[in-house]
Chain A
Amino acid sequence: DAKTTQPNSMESNEEEPVHLPCNHSTISGTDYIHWYRQLPSQGPEYVIHGLTSNVNNRMASLAIAEDRKSSTLILHRATLRDAAVYYCILSSYNAGNNRKLIWGLGTSLAVNP
């Protein structure tokens, strides 16, 4: 299974942009890149996903490198409510030809007021 590598923790200031990096050097051509976040005492929350092109939605932007071996989640203006663990995940086909999300330990983002 293709895996991702993220920094354990990052820190940001409120109202500043945040760039959360993710490396996935073993990504295959059919793997989607997903980002979820988990606020304290809550279940993970879907943020964004993409395959090859950059993606934007109301929560964030996803910038995917041309070789797809890395990606960056961009929060344009961090708020205190964005403090969470951010997971970069690949959805890969397993041996049974089923697509599964392979979760890592994520990046814990702290936002300073």
Chain B
Amino acid sequence: DAGVIQSPRHEVTEMGQEVTLRCKPISGHNSLFWYRQTMMRGLELLIYFNNNVPIDDSGMPEDRFSAKMPNASFSTLKIQPSEPRDSAVYFCASSFGWQGVNGYTFGSGTRLTVV
């Protein structure tokens, strides 16, 4: 298995532009998680899906952020409009079972820089 695949690896964009981050979870995993990591705040859970349905989006910072999971093998995290404070590494993770008790598998992340 190729693991959790995220794209792009790096994204540099100008303030105000729309940014779309993509994630392909591990085949057979039915839960997907989006995290954001910064030096100041560490890892923060933004949203997670179980069987393609959003379960908890309380970590989404504001309405500029949205996430979708149209099918079991694909998810997107969109920021529109982007702001410099959105600069961070965004991780996608998947697991079998949304409780995550048996461990999450993380992707390599997307490093977003908003200038």
Which positions in A face B, CB cutoff 8 Å?
A: 32, 34, 41-46, 49, 87, 91, 94, 96, 98-101, 103-106
CB of A49 within 8 A of CB of B101, answer yes
CB of A96 within 8 A of CB of B108, answer no
The residue of chain B having its C-beta at the shortest distance from the C-beta of A93 within the complex is: B99
CB of B108 within 8 A of CB of A101, answer no
- Bound Cα distance A101, B104 (Å): 10
Identify which of residues 56-78 in chain B touch chain A, using a CB-to-CB cut-off of 8 Å: 56
On chain B, the number of residues with a Cβ less than 8 Å from chain A's Cβ atoms is 21
CB of B42 within 8 A of CB of A91, answer no
The residue of chain A having its C-beta at the shortest distance from the C-beta of B56 within the complex is: A98
CB of A43 within 8 A of CB of B99, answer no
Contacts of A43 in B (CB 8 A): 4, 91, 93, 106-109
Which positions in B face A, CB cutoff 8 Å?
A: 4, 42-45, 55-56, 91, 93, 98-109
Minimum C-beta distance from A94 to chain B (A): 8
Contacts of B44 in A (CB 8 A): 103
Contacts of B102 in A (CB 8 A): 49
Q: Which of B99, B102, B105, B108 is packed against the most chain A CB atoms within 10 Å?
A: B99
Q: Beyond A99-B99, A100-B56, is A45–B45 a contact (Cβ under 8 Å)?
A: no
Minimum C-beta distance from A54 to chain B (A): 17
Taking A42-B109, A44-B104, A104-B42 as given, write out 16 further A-B residue pairs in contact, using a Cβ cutoff of 8 Å, ordered by the A residue number: A32-B101, A42-B108, A43-B108, A44-B106, A46-B105, A49-B103, A87-B43, A98-B98, A99-B98, A99-B100, A99-B101, A100-B45, A100-B100, A101-B100, A103-B43, A105-B42
